[in-house]
Amino acid sequence: MDPETLEKDALAAVAAASSLDDIDRVRVEFLGRKSALKLALREVRDRETGMTLNALRERLETAIDARENDLRRVELDRQVSEERVDVTMPGTPFPRGHLHLITQIRREVEDIFLGLGYTVVDGREVETTHYNFDGLNFPQGHPTRSPLHTLFLDQQTVLRTETSPSQIRTMEAQEPPVYIVSLGRCYRRDTPDATHTPTFHQVEGLAVDEGISLADLEGTLDYLLKTLFGEERRTQFTTNYFPFTEPSIEARVSCHICDGSGCPVCRHSGWIEVGGAGMVDPNLFEFVGYDPERYTGFAFGWGLERIAVLRHGIPDLRELWRNDPRLLRQF
**Residue among 75, 38, 186 at smallest CA distance from 126:** 186
> What backbone phi and psi angles, to 5 degrees, belong to 156?
-110, 0
**Residue among 26, 223, 254 at smallest CA distance from 109:** 223
Q: For helices 47-82 and 36-43, what crossing angle results, to 10°?
A: 160
Shortest Å distance, C-beta 280 to ligand DAH: 7
Q: Looking only at residues 162 through 221 of this chain, which bind ligand DAH when binding is defined by CB under 6 A?
A: 162, 164, 204
Complex with ligand DAH: residue 243 or 262, whichever CB lies closer? 243
Under 8 Å between Cβ of 279 and 214: yes
Window contacting ligand DAH (CB under 6 A); options: 33-41, 89-97, 126-134, 293-301 = 293-301
**How far is residue 20's CA from residue 71's CA, in Å, rounded to a whole number?**
6
Window contacting ligand DAH (CB under 6 A); options: 35-43, 94-102, 174-182, 271-279 = 271-279
The reply to whether 281 sits near ligand DAH by the rule CB under 6 A is no
**How far is residue 154's CA from residue 149's CA, in Å, rounded to a whole number?**
14
The reply to whether 228 sits near ligand DAH by the rule CB under 6 A is no
Q: What is the DSSP letter of 150?
A: S
**How far is residue 32's CA from residue 13's CA, in Å, rounded to a whole number?**
15
Shortest Å distance, C-beta 247 to ligand DAH: 10
The reply to whether 123 sits near ligand DAH by the rule CB under 6 A is no
Complex with ligand DAH: residue 109 or 277, whichever CB lies closer? 277
C-alpha count within 13 angstroms, C-beta hemisphere, residue 50: 6
Q: Which of 113, 118, 242, 290 binds ligand DAH (CB under 6 A)?
A: 242
Complex with ligand DAH: residue 30 or 187, whichever CB lies closer? 187
Shortest Å distance, C-beta 242 to ligand DAH: 4
> What backbone phi and psi angles, to 5 degrees, belong to 70?
-60, -45
Q: Which of 181, 277, 304, 314 binds ligand DAH (CB under 6 A)?
A: 277
Shortest Å distance, C-beta 171 to ligand DAH: 12
**Cα R_g (the chain), whole angstroms:** 41
Which residues bind to ligand DAH, rule: CB under 6 A? 162, 164, 204, 242, 245, 276-278, 299-301
